[in-house]
Amino acid sequence: MPTGLLIKYFLRVDADGLFHTYPHRGGPFKSLEETQEAIDTYHANRIKIKYLGELSKEDRYVWHKLYWRDGTRKNSKEALDAMMNLDPTLEVVKCLLDKHNEEHHLFEDLAYEVKEVVSYKAHFPENDSQYECRSFSHLNVLAKRGLNDDGNLLFIEITCTDGEFEEYALTCLSAVSSDDNGECCECGDDVKHPTGVEYKKGEAKPHGRCKCINRPISDEAFNKFIVVRDEDSLEAEEARVRRQFRIRSIADGHGARGKYIVPAKRVQA
């Protein structure tokens, strides 16, 4: 997740050792460093061409303080909409299906192509869980195979483990029909599960002890990404940042930053 951007990237390494990015940013690339450079360059070029232009020093200061690197104003409705419209779930499904296609030699009309994520439930096992993973997710996905296919409903299980990087694995893929009613202690009726297929079914919890174990978002992250301020608050914040810049500029002109310069005493005649 690049610093200062409302976006998360997933990387896939193919059988030839080449790196693919999701969302797509060119490539494939020969190394992780080359991949990172391509991602950074993509966003740097967007900033340079679309947003910075010939801004004054003051406007640049304001931009770096109050805007995300993609040019959206922090804590604005536009920024929240941009974050909500990005779909990391869809991107990781695309990534894992491409990996599945390659590993099973599914090409052209045999290859899966995701059209839509229909339903999604993430689960975070507790510390004493039988599952050795950070999280697992159950999804129903509409996917097609070939140009003439209207799409079929799939059940997918994705497991995430921690390490130097988050690692995602496709641990179950199965077609489901209206007759399927597979068991899952976690999803309930939100996701249609296959029958007779191995996947993590969750862990039944004693009555009265059920609780939400999704990771809570921190107050800092909530204020940074989720809170939307009204136009008056955004304008007042920009005015404060501009005053801050001008005060610092005046201080720099006296040879010191942020310090009050005591004027010389007048000599009495």
Does residue 193 carry a pLDDT above 60?
yes
Q: Where are the alpha helices (H) located in 88-177, listed in sequence order?
A: 88-103
74 and 92 in one domain?
Answer: no
Q: Which amino acid is at 238?
A: E
If you ran DSSP here, which 8-state letter would residue 216 be given? P
| Cis peptide preceding 88, ω within 30 of 0 | no
Residues 77 and 92 in one domain: no
CATH number at residue 165: 3.10.450
What is residue 28's predicted lDDT score, i.e. its pLDDT?
94
Q: What percent of the chain has pLDDT over 90?
A: 25
Identify whether 266 is part of a domain: no
Mean pLDDT of 42-57: 68
Same domain flag for 92 and 172: yes
Residue 267 lies in a domain: no
Q: Which domain holds residue 139?
A: 87-213
Give this prediction's pTM: 0.65
Q: Model confidence at 156, in pLDDT bands (50, 70, 90)? A: very high
Within 8 A by CB and 6+ apart from 101, the residues are 107, 110, 111, 112
**pLDDT, position 53:** 60
Give 265's pLDDT tier (boundaries 50, 70, 90). very low
pLDDT of residue 98: 94
How many domains are there within the chain?
2
Last residue of a domain, one of 190, 213, 236: 213
> In terms of domains, do 98 and 81 share one?
no
At residue 141, φ and ψ (nearest 5 deg) are -125, 135
Ranges 64-68, 165-169, 177-181, most confident: 165-169
pLDDT in tens, 138-149: 999 999 988 778
% of the chain surpassing 70 pLDDT = 74
> Considering the domain boundaries, does residue 262 fall inside one?
no
| Res. 151 pLDDT band, cuts 50 70 90 | confident
Mean pLDDT for 53-71 is 79
Is 202 in the same domain as 129?
Answer: yes
What is the amino acid identity at position 126? E
Do 101 and 158 lie in one domain? The reply is yes
123 and 229 together in one domain: no
- Place 5 in a pLDDT band, splitting at 50, 70 and 90: low
Residue 265 domain-assigned (yes or no): no
Residue 269, domain member (yes or no):
no
Residue of 177, 114, 118 lying closest to 143 (CA atoms): 114
- If asked whether residues 75 and 133 sit together in one domain, one would say no
Q: Which of 162, 194, 213 is the last residue of a domain?
A: 213
Task: Please check whether residues 194 and 239 belong to one and the same domain.
Answer: no
Domain-embedded: residue 107: yes
Residue 170 lies in a domain: yes
On whether the CB atoms of residues 11 and 35 are closer than 8 A, the answer is: yes
Last residue of a domain, one of 187, 213, 239: 213
Task: Please tell me the distance from the alpha carbon of residue 66 to that of residue 136, in angstroms, as a whole number.
Answer: 36
pLDDT for the residue 211: 40
Same domain, 94 and 178: yes
Q: Is residue 192 part of a domain?
A: yes
238 and 207 housed in the same domain: no
Shared domain for 162 and 227, answered yes or no, is no
Give the pLDDT of residue 260.
Answer: 41
